């Protein structure tokens, strides 16, 4: 892939670039979470969302997070992104504590978040323009990213003129524009129809491999989690904590045939048993 236009130095507390750290920094996980708790308070009401979460994510890894509905998956992702603050515990990216959003983390949400008044190339160029990249260079980089996500030729289209899957691909391209160390994805295909979702899963696998980026992907869909992930972190019912982390031993690149394989079915059954135990425990009022 063509080298991206250079970005100005970051102004937040994560300005060290990849490859510039010491051997110790290179050896540590890209993302490290220790003893993470999150309690939402509204008056005298307490909502314990996360409890003692421990997790590490390696450089270049595709980690999927799977758990029962309402277990705090999205809350965990938002804390990593810096959009929520933890009640206790730590989140580090490349050894530096997270205190706010930063360009080292990019977020893709369930619904496309494009500016309707900007063309697709304008949307993708926008995060580069706001940090001072000249307009011509920003648009050139945006066109490279359009090619990466298979949207070449739609440069001058507006979001309303594209399908849901195409808009979500544009969102992924825009998030990649500022070269994040880790791409955070919060059920990004949840609002798509079943056929488009299948296609987008294959597209994301290709984009991840071509871009060489780290991905943390939240989903409630077991097939999706297995098809996409190098590892799957399984969360308990609320308050959410990590109850298992499973390596996914399926060959890459993963094509549609993998979804029909007995190996994927075996993984599906394993995770369904894990999730069913969590849901039943929640229904009976027990806390894991």
Domains of the chain as residue ranges with CATH: 50-104+182-288 (3.40.50.300), 115-179 (no CATH)
| pTM greater than 0.75 (yes/no) | yes
Query: Residue 19 burial (CB < 10 Å; 0-12/13-18/19+)?
Result: exposed
Q: Which residue has the higher pLDDT, 178 or 172?
A: 172
Token digits of residue 105 = 């983390």
Total number of residues shown for the chain: 288
The whole-number pLDDT of residue 25 equals: 52
Q: Provide the percentage of residues in the chain whose pLDDT is more than 90.
A: 72
Structural contact between residues 79 and 98, judged by C-beta atoms closer than 8 angstroms: yes
b vs e for 28-50, b when ≥16 Cβ sit within 10 Å of the residue's Cβ?
bbbbbbeebbbeeeeeeeeeebb
Render pLDDT for 259-273 as a digit per residue (tens, 0 to 9): 889 999 999 999 999
Alpha-carbon span 228 to 232, nearest angstrom:
9
Across 2-16, 92-106, 157-171, least confident range: 2-16
Render pLDDT for 25-48 as a digit per residue (tens, 0 to 9): 557 899 999 999 999 988 888 899
Structural contact between residues 199 and 46, judged by C-beta atoms closer than 8 angstroms: no
Residue 208 has pLDDT above 60, yes or no: yes
The partner residues of 215 in beta bridges, in order of sequence, read 62, 183
Residue 155 has pLDDT above 80, yes or no: yes
Q: Which residue has the higher pLDDT, 164 or 24?
A: 164
**Cis peptide, bond prior to residue 7, ω within 30 of zero:** no
What residues contact residue 182 under an 8 Å CB cut-off, 6+ apart?
Answer: 30, 31, 57, 80, 93, 104, 105, 106, 213, 214, 215, 216
Alpha-carbon span 52 to 242, nearest angstrom:
8
Render pLDDT for 223-278 as a digit per residue (tens, 0 to 9): 999 999 999 999 999 899 999 999 999 988 888 889 889 999 999 999 999 898 87
């Amino acid at each position: 892939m063509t080298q991206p236009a250079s970005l100005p130095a970051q102004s937040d507390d994560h300005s060290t670039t990849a490859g510039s750290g010491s051997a110790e920094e290179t050896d540590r996980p890209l993302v490290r979470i220790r003893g993470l708790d999150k309690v939402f308070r509204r008056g005298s009401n307490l909502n314990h969302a996360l409890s003692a979460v421990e997790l590490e994510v390696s450089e270049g890894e595709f980690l999927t997070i799977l758990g029962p509905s309402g277990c705090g998956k999205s809350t965990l992702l938002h804390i990593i992104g810096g959009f929520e603050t933890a009640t206790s515990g730590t989140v580090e990216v490349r050894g530096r504590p997270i205190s706010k959003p930063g360009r080292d983390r990019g977020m893709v949400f369930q619904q496309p978040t494009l500016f309707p008044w900007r063309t697709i190339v304008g949307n993708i160029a926008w995060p580069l323009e706001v940090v001072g990249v000249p307009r011509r260079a920003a648009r050139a980089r945006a066109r490279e990213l359009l090619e990466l996500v298979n949207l070449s030729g739609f440069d001058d289209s507006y979001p309303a003129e594209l399908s849901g899957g195409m808009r979500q691909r544009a969102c992924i391209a825009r998030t990649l524009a500022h070269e994040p160390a880790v791409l955070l994805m919060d059920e990004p295909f949840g609002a798509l129809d079943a056929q488009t979702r299948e296609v987008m899963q294959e597209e994301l696998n290709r984009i991840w491999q071509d871009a060489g980026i780290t991905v943390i992907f939240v989903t409630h869909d077991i097939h999706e989690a297995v098809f996409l992930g190098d590892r799957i972190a399984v969360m308990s019912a609320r308050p959410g904590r990590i109850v298992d982390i499973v390596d996914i031993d399926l060959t890459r690149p993963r094509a549609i045939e993998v979804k029909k394989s007995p190996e994927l079915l075996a993984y599906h059954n394993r995770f369904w048993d894990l999730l069913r135990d969590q849901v039943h425990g929640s229904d009976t009022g027990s806390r894991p």
